[in-house]
Structure 1
Amino acid sequence: MEYQYLGDDHRTFTIDLNMLAYFSVGGLFGAVLSTTVVTQIALEPMKIVLAIFIFYLLWGPKPKFSGTSPSVRFIAGLSTAFLSVFVGASGPIVSSYLYTNEYEKLKFTATFSSCMALQHVLKAGVFSVVGFAFFNWLPLIFCMVVSGMLGTFIGLHVLNKIPTSNFKKGLRLILSFLSLHLIWQGVRYFL
């Protein structure tokens, strides 16, 4: 099942609603689970493990399981929502999972954006439950929202000019560099 909408430039963006549904339910369970252990896990070593996992999804052999099965989508939502509370930006993790689904670039972007919006709402809920004071950070949150909107506007214009094959190669490289950064953050902890 898919949801299609027409962008400002008359291109059709398609969201994989089945992905979003199972991912959302898994994400809800992952967010609830994270509230029970958020203060008990060492973050830096976890970053190294996540980076290795991302590298495997991007460069290793394709997993034997179907990336489109309901159970895999549920587990992807659960694990990425859980991990996003600890590592901050879960975009590389979600992107690397969606990368295995072989979406074309506009469907990838629309589905990824929907999954990330859901995860940010769940993460905000987790931080609210554990007592984070959002009000103290409103100016920074406002600046982040504005910069995110600007980045989305620019990104869509760039996306429309990039052939799908170049998009997939570029995405793979960017996610690899982000994984290297995660590894560096984890290694610095031990130095």
Structure 2
Amino acid sequence: MATLAGIFLPDGLPAHFAALLIAASFATSFITASVGIGGGAAMIALMSYFVPPAALIPVHGAVQLGSNGGRTIVLRDYVDWTRVAAFSAGALFGAAIGAAIAVRLQSGIILMVLGAFIVATTWVPLRRIAAMKTRGFAAIGAITTFLGMFLGATGPLNAALLSNSFPVRQKLVGSLAALMSVQHGFKVIGFAVVGFAFAPWLPLIALMIASGFGGTLAGSKLLNTMPEKGFRLAFKLALTLLAAGMIFRGVKTFYWN
């Protein structure tokens, strides 16, 4: 007789690994809800040890769609919906191109360049980015969604480019959550269109989304009590750590693969 784990989990994924991913979804959602960034990148790094490469980015995208969607609901009063709409138009274009190509790019050099760019935009004031117009959100939506079809978590890049456009921490976290919901939503649709089979993964995805929503509720409470300066410093440090990880992975891929 098939076990419950065999029925509800994809082939080859042990129950204790699934339990770890579900717990990690709570922790990583707590991180993103409280400091604005970091959870998605941490989640894909952990999932890479347990989820087959062909399923990693589609499944991660579905989990992050649910996680960011929950955070958008919790912080909906702070979301800049006009900018989200502009970002969405660009994201649709980027996802369509990425899905049409439907190949995994050699990402080593790309990771190194993006990591260095994130560090620069995090610590060096850039007036043009700080004064980003609505049409700029459309361009960023197209570029980062396209990259997300191959690199997985592009939250740090969106955050680095757009963080100065939202001077209040709740607006930043809420609007980034809405932007990433759109981006992951188009990513999931794109992978479904090119034939990825989500069905075997749906029970695990649902449990990870539910766990992540709990992390979002807990992290949002910390966000509302954190001083603005403390939040901004934690946000920059988290972005820098993520960028350093991207650079390291790029160097490793470029020189050792």
TM-score using structure 2 length: 0.66
Between 1 and 2, higher relative CO (CA 8 Å, sep ≥ 6) is seen in 2
CA contact (8 A) 2:87 2:141 kept: yes
User: Residue by residue, what CA displacement relative to the aligned partner does 1:47-106 show, whole Å, maximum 9, x if unpaired?
Assistant: 222212211221223053664313211111111111111111121112112212142011
Q: Aligned partners of 2:209, 2:76: CA distance in 1, in Å?
A: 24
The verdict on how the C-alpha distance between 1:154 and 1:65 changes in structure 2, with shifts beyond 3 A counting, is: closer
CA contact (8 A) 2:79 2:171 kept: yes
* CA RMSD of superposed structures (Å): 2.1
Identity of aligned residues (%): 32
Q: Aligned partners of 2:93, 2:113: CA distance in 1, in Å?
A: 21
CA contact (8 A) 1:23 1:75 kept: yes
The verdict on how the C-alpha distance between 1:99 and 1:122 changes in structure 2, with shifts beyond 3 A counting, is: same
Q: When you count helix as a share of all residues, which structure comes out higher?
A: 2
Q: Aligned partners of 1:48, 1:21: CA distance in 2, in Å?
A: 30
Aligned to 1:92: 156
The verdict on how the C-alpha distance between 1:67 and 1:27 changes in structure 2, with shifts beyond 3 A counting, is: farther
CA contact (8 A) 1:30 1:81 kept: yes
Q: Where does 1:10-21 land on structure 2 (aligned, <5 Å)?
A: 13-21=77-85
Aligned to 1:152: 216
Aligned to 2:93: 29
User: Residue by residue, what CA displacement relative to the aligned partner does 1:7-46 show, whole Å, maximum 9, x if unpaired?
Assistant: 98xx983211221011000111110111233315212332
Aligned to 1:80: 144
Q: Where does 1:21-170 land on structure 2 (aligned, <5 Å)?
A: 21-39=85-103, 41-64=105-128, 67-170=131-234
Which amino acid is the alignment partner of residue 179 of structure 2? C
Aligned to 1:4: none
Gaps of at least 5 residues in structure 2 are 1-72
Which amino acid is the alignment partner of residue 167 of structure 2? Y
**Aligned length, in residue pairs:** 183
User: Residue by residue, what CA displacement relative to the aligned partner does 1:83-138 show, whole Å, maximum 9, x if unpaired?
Assistant: 11111112111211221214201111111111111111111011112211111212
Gaps of at least 5 residues in structure 1 are 1-6
